[in-house]
Amino acid sequence: MEFEESGIGEECGVFGCLAAGEWPTQLEVAQIITLGLVALQHRGQESAGIVTSNGSSPPTYTTLKGMGLVSTAFKPEDMLKLRYGNLGIGHTRYSTTGMSELQNCQPFVVDTLHGRIAVAHNGELFNAAALRRKVMRHGVGLSTSSDSELITQLLCLTPPMEEVDNPDWVARIKNLMTLTPTSYSLLIMHKDVIYAVRDPYGNRPLCIGRLVPISKLHSSGGGEGDTEGWVVSSESCSFQSIGAKYYCEVRPGEIVQISKHGVKSLNIIPRPEGDPPAFCIFEYVYFARPDSIFEGQMVYTVRQRCGRQLAIEAPTDADVVSTVPESATPAALGYAQESGLPYVEVLCKNRYVGRTFIQPDTRLRQLGVAKKFGALTDNFAGKRVVLVDDSIVRGNTISPIIKLLKEAGATEVHIRVASPPIRFPCYMGINIPTKEELIANRPEFKDLANYLGATSVHYLSVEGLVTAVQSGIEPYENEQISSSSKTSRKLGHCTACLTGKYPIELEW
């Protein structure tokens, strides 16, 4: 919960849709993209955009962008402009680079020598400054401060060995991936195809779903002949609301082509020097919706395992286990299962109070957390409480909650944190407070329980988190779009914000 209060945010969510079969399609491509973006709203709330195309030659592109939530960014009358699209891509934004303004809203559309392209991007380029200089040396001006426009312009550069009149978009994408190995998941729309691209380290997520008739949505089996369209998304949680079945995950370094004829893996770009993959481990901890699937496992299940591991590492004598609503609930349930303690709710959250709540006088400011939570006193009065949270970032949020519970009758409050302490900045698309603001780097951390007013405080270890995440990943994968044979899955996750060990050497 404190991730939310501390302003830690994921950069973006991307979503694309392409109709299968004959065009023009009867599939409501723009509506499907809108619903997909709504399901990804937790990944960004600053702005949203959609670009659709009829896929003809030359194609007609239609763009719709707006500030705020998807529900307010797209007006019904404006959506009518998109209704003739046979394919399209969309984006919902949380900025880590670039100001929060309409000009930085994605997808970006540019004209090239070989036709118009549209690009949507999730992530942050680790070497953006050097790449901006490279683009400008080619005489290209940049109109925004966004990494995503930079990616678009890099795709426009002619790669080595390309013939003037025969554009090779796969070569262009490969050239981009060589210039910047992380961090990005990309949707690139050109003519009648969408390219789904994931960086070689797999730092940001991306997966593909298959749109099927509603009557066959929950049935097993069924071939691709039932396919009404294809969707690609930052998270699989978006598939349920649009009638799509999970098809596969885009692998690290993979370039996938999606057309009305199907899905085809074109290439996999290897990581430099055989490095392990570096999928962001905080997708599991906090950023992703719990019903999403990464690396063949559901996020909710991973969070439960984190709670179980936390109970093994930091047991305590207590009477009940509870959670700070709501993101830490799976971990709290896992802690309760492993410890044998009953799980109860101790806090009731008021969902209609946001961070911008105005506190007009001293008395209301002193009430602090009471505006956001109510204590369910009958569940814990006179008892020792283990309270599980997903984070303690600055320490500003949990302390008033502890005070509230003690004043409401808890005899002890033991804080258990289902992630390790955050100590370092992220340069790959996550907005983290400055190093000095993080409680783990401040003197108070040495006696955190006393500082917060808790009976005890324990974090999950880095090793425990990695174990909880990786223990559920199958050692082999059978990728439908590339090979029928099983290949070894190499494990690896980015823990840089916890350990200071970045997957690649940073460039400034």
Tens digit of each residue's pLDDT (9 = 90 or more) over 448-475: 999 999 999 999 999 999 999 999 998 6
Total tally of structural domains belonging to the chain: 2
Structure-token pair, residue 445: 């951390």
Cis peptide before 58 (omega within 30 of 0): yes
Whether residue 185 is found in the same domain as residue 82: yes
* pLDDT the model gives residue 480: 54
Query: What does the pLDDT look like over 494-504, one tens digit per residue?
Result: 999 999 999 98
Whether residue 109 is found in the same domain as residue 31: yes
Residue 288: inside a domain: no
Cα separation, 13 vs 69, whole angstroms? 12
CA-based nearest residue to 127, from 172, 174, 181, 171: 181
Give the distance, in angstroms, between the CA of residue 177 and the centroid of all CA atoms in the same chain. 20
Q: Is 17 a residue of the active site?
A: no
Q: Which domain holds residue 176?
A: 13-275
Whether residue 403 is found in the same domain as residue 307: yes
Whether residue 79 is found in the same domain as residue 221: yes
Residue 492: in which H helix or E strand, if any? none
Whether residue 313 is found in the same domain as residue 255: no
* pLDDT the model gives residue 359: 44
Whether residue 195 is found in the same domain as residue 236: yes
CATH code, domain carrying 243: 3.60.20.10
Map 88-122 to HEC letters: EEEEEECCCCCCCCHHHCCCEEEEECCEEEEEEEE
* 348 annotated to a ligand binding site: no
Residue 54: inside a domain: yes
Residue 501: inside a domain: no
Residue 390: inside a domain: yes
Confidence of residue 358 (pLDDT cuts 50, 70, 90): very low
Residue 507: inside a domain: no
Choose, from 12, 17, 105, 207, the residue flagged as catalytic. 12
Q: Identify whether the C-beta of residue 319 lies closer than 8 Å to the C-beta of residue 469.
A: no
Whether residue 118 is found in the same domain as residue 223: yes
* 183 annotated to a ligand binding site: no
* 497 annotated to a ligand binding site: yes
Whether residue 62 is found in the same domain as residue 204: yes
Residue 271: inside a domain: yes
Of the residues 275, 310, 340, the one at which a domain ends: 275
Query: What does the pLDDT look like over 260-310, one tens digit per residue?
Result: 999 999 999 999 787 999 999 999 999 999 999 999 999 999 999 999 999
CA-based Rg of the chain, rounded to a whole angstrom? 24
Cα separation, 278 vs 352, whole angstroms? 37
Residue 1: inside a domain: no
Residue 173: inside a domain: yes
Whether residue 239 is found in the same domain as residue 350: no
Query: What does the pLDDT look like over 188-246, one tens digit per residue?
Result: 999 999 999 999 999 999 999 999 998 888 877 666 778 999 999 999 999 999 999 99
Confidence of residue 134 (pLDDT cuts 50, 70, 90): confident
Of the residues 243, 275, 307, the one at which a domain ends: 275
Whether residue 371 is found in the same domain as residue 271: no
Whether residue 268 is found in the same domain as residue 334: no
* 248 annotated to a ligand binding site: no
* 280 annotated to a ligand binding site: yes
Mean pLDDT of the chain: 88
Whether residue 197 is found in the same domain as residue 318: no
* 426 annotated to a ligand binding site: yes
Q: Looking at residues 237-260, what average pLDDT do you find?
A: 96
CATH code, domain carrying 425: 3.40.50.2020
